[in-house]
Amino acid sequence: FPVEDIRNFSIIAHVDHGKSTLADRLLELTGTIDKTQKNKQVLDKLQVERERGITVKAQTASLFYSFGGKQYLLNLIDTPGHVDFSYEVSRSLSACQGVLLVVDANEGIQAQTVANFFLAFEAQLSVIPVINKIDLKNADPERVGKQIEKVFDIPSEECIKISAKLGTNIDSVLQAVIERIPPPKVHRENPLKALVFDSTFDQYRGVIANIALFDGVVSKGDKIVSAHTKKTYEVNEVGILNPNEQPTHKLYAGQVGFLIAGMKDVTEAQIGDTLYLHNHPVEPLPGFKSAKPMVFAGVYPIDQSEYNNLKSAIEKLTLNDSSVTVHRDSSLALGAGWSICHWLWRLPWPHAVLGIQIWGPYAQTVSTIPSQPFSQALKIHFCELGFLGLLHMEVFNQRLEQEYNASVILTTPTVPYKAVLSSAKLIKEYKEKEITIINPAQFPDKSKVTEYLEPVVLGTVITPTEYTGKIMALCQARRAIQKNMTFIDENRVMLKYLFPLNEIVVDFYDSLKSLSSGYASFDYEDAGYQTAELIKMDILLNGNIVEELVTVVHREKAYTVGKGICERLKDSLPRQLFEIAIQAAVGSKVIARETYGGDITRKMKLLKRQSEGKKKLRKVGNIEIPKDAFIKVLKTQ
Ligand code: GDP
Ligand code: MG
């Protein structure tokens, strides 16, 4: 294929606006998949994606299409639609020259439409607006066209109106891809320069890298070098994704495809890496900014005997989902009094921080920094993972269970708070003036700091105007500050607020949805840090701290949050034979309390349930807490 006959594009959309359905139609129309194939939403390969109807991991497919007497090669790179995965979106976009921006003809522009548009706009890609679901009774493509003109400054005549479900007007979409998106700017005569924009791990074949070729050619048998590790490999297999891997002898500049070259290790499969031919070094491509974790949670195996299983599952999942960072912070001594020992090391590039914390009675002293993540020599009983958002965290949890059969307890999601140290002595000790606190158990005492800082995000809410009042009240209750308000048409408004991240991390989205009958949408971007009055709150069962429930809270919210946790814990614990006290405490001061239990009549039921679910219980003192109880307590906090 001559370069001028190649187009590389993505589909971006707010969740449920029809991206996967459109992808299916494009694949059918180009004969890539069979129309009769029952296997719909072909690009959504993961079980969790099919169940939740969302796309998590970007997938790629090459389509062949004839137009005006010419064959074209169209590379479709699927992207996730949810805000939590915008890292994957930008990665996919780096291999494209244009995007289809799909907007639902009934719902119109939503918060993620805006976020996705700006990612494409900043990457200077051609944007083709596609109004989908014109078959719906309430579809109003004219109104949506006007919104697109108002918000994105794209003339409404440029919108293509389709029904992905019925297959209406799909040809015009493919023709627009050919006519409005430029071919990639590449040089085949130059030596090979290929970008690794994604990678997956296969048990038998090792790392499968998805690559976009900027210059040159790569063939089976070539000797290639990773610009990052400088290691040399022999190419075992190259080919296109159709959408399954289909080997070809070569891949040429402008093409997108896969490459297998005997890379076996996590650190060899760096996303953003540049590959070149042995003896023909090139200037590496700029790569990617590493994903910045926004939500942290501890992960415990439910049963310590499942430790090995969990360890290897996390290892594999983080290889396939590079936006999860396994993280430990370096503020060792602030956790004084805890039998915690941890270490930290950095992958050389792209600045991923990997770390493991060793917990409680199993702690061992680590004297050397292991060269391999998850060193076999150590028992890891607790580790912390950084996520880009709450959905991301739930999806990760579900994938652990479904794909790797590992059962875990995830702790209260927290955000990375900071503390500014108060004395030169402390700064010297920690080698930093500002330390990041990820594990609430390591929250430094007020006497050591001048101020605490919390992360803030700039949130976008798009809603029908009738809900504006309620939404503003909700935002205010979450300590948000209004920044802007724009009408995108007569009955829709776009609100911009500065939110403390911890206020939206758990249930903001659900509240927003329920008070707007599902009509409001939300997205956010990072906006730095602000001063905050923070305290650490413990939850105790009969005087024993429940580690999973330790939280850092805003002073003014401590009572409400503490009371809420105690009440929910009381409701979700199984009946006990003896009385127990549930307390929320700040330091030695108890701020909320519930008592509970002493019901002998339930004894038989309890014994039965315990024998059924023995594995799913976590013991605190002499009280056993089922996994479900944690989830109930944590979910609605
Ligand atoms: P995605 O989240 O953007 O990938 O959206 P999906 O492709 O999964 O579609 C979300 C829902 O909208 C599914 O139930 C689809 O069947 C439905 N849908 C997609 N396109 C159309 C369309 O053109 N018309 C109608 N009526 N429904 C559609
Ligand atoms: Mg989808």
Closest CA to 93 of 124, 115, 63: 124
Q: Report the pLDDT averaged over residues 597-602.
A: 58
CB of 173 shorter than 6 A to ligand 1: no
Instruction: Using the atom order of ligand 1, give the atom closest to the CA of residue 54.
Output: 2
Report yes or no: 424 and 118 within 8 Å, Cβ to Cβ. Answer: no
pTM: 0.70
Measured over the CA atoms of residue 606, residue 609, residue 611 and residue 614, the dihedral's sign is negative
Look-up of token digits 């503003």: 472
Ligand number nearest CA of 16 is 1
* CB count in 10 Å sphere of residue 92: 27
CB of 53 shorter than 6 A to ligand 1: yes
Three-class secondary structure of residue 208 per DSSP: strand
pLDDT tier at 463, thresholds 50, 70, 90: very high
Give dist(CA 341, CA 614) in Å, integer: 29
Give dist(CA 405, CA 622) in Å, integer: 28
Helix/strand/coil percent split, the chain, to 5: 30, 35, 35
For the stretch 503-512, pLDDT in tens is: 877 668 778 8
CB of 136 shorter than 6 A to ligand 1: yes
* CB count in 10 Å sphere of residue 369: 9
Q: Where are the alpha helices (DSSP H) in 422-486?
A: 424-430, 468-477
Give dist(CA 91, CA 89) in Å, integer: 5
CB of 50 shorter than 6 A to ligand 1: no
Q: Rounded to 5 degrees, what are φ and ψ at 92? A: -65, -40
Give dist(CA 5, CA 44) in Å, integer: 27
Report yes or no: 307 and 339 within 8 Å, Cβ to Cβ. Answer: no
Measured over the CA atoms of residue 356, residue 421, residue 588 and residue 504, the dihedral's sign is negative
Instruction: Using the atom order of ligand 1, give the atom closest to the CA of residue 13.
Output: 3
Asked whether residue 320 carries a pLDDT value surpassing 80, the answer given is no
Instruction: Please provide the average confidence, as pLDDT, over all residues in the chain.
Output: 75
pLDDT higher at 352 or 612: 612
DSSP state of 414: B
Give dist(CA 540, CA 201) in Å, integer: 42
Three-class secondary structure of residue 328 per DSSP: coil
Ligand 1: distance of its center to the CA of 613 in Å?
Answer: 39
DSSP state of 82: S
pLDDT higher at 184 or 625: 184
Ligand 1: distance of its center to the CA of 163 in Å?
Answer: 9
Highest mean pLDDT among 14-23, 55-64, 451-460: 451-460
Best residue among 17, 21, 133, 168 to mutate for probing ligand 1, ranked by most atoms within 8 Å of CB: 21
Least confident of 188-202, 305-319, 422-436: 305-319
For the stretch 442-461, pLDDT in tens is: 788 888 899 999 989 888 99
Closest CA to 398 of 410, 386, 413: 410
Annotated binding-site residues for GTP read 13-20, 78-82, 132-135
For the stretch 28-53, pLDDT in tens is: 888 766 655 444 555 555 454 445 44
Q: What ipTM was reported for this prediction?
A: 0.99
pLDDT tier at 328, thresholds 50, 70, 90: very low
Closest CA to 408 of 436, 378, 385, 376: 385
Please give the full DSSP string across 348-391, using - where no structure is assigned: SSS--EEEEEE-GGG-----S--SSTT-TTS---BEEEEESSHH
Ligand 1: distance of its center to the CA of 394 in Å?
Answer: 23
For the stretch 363-399, pLDDT in tens is: 222 222 222 232 222 222 334 455 545 555 666 667 6
Instruction: Using the atom order of ligand 1, give the atom closest to the CA of residue 55.
Output: 4
For the stretch 512-535, pLDDT in tens is: 888 998 888 887 777 889 999 999
Give dist(CA 421, CA 334) in Å, integer: 11
Ligand 2: distance of its center to the CA of 526 in Å?
Answer: 25
Report yes or no: 92 and 78 within 8 Å, Cβ to Cβ. Answer: yes
Give dist(CA 510, CA 465) in Å, integer: 19
Instruction: Using the atom order of ligand 1, give the atom closest to the CA of residue 162.
Output: 23
Measure Cα distances from 440 to 152, 297, 310, 437 in Å: 42, 10, 23, 7
Q: Give the CA angle between residues 5, 7, 13 to the nearest 5°.
A: 160
Report yes or no: 103 and 283 within 8 Å, Cβ to Cβ. Answer: no
Token pair, residue 89, equals 């979106």
For the stretch 232-286, pLDDT in tens is: 999 999 999 877 788 998 999 999 899 999 887 656 767 678 899 999 999 887 7
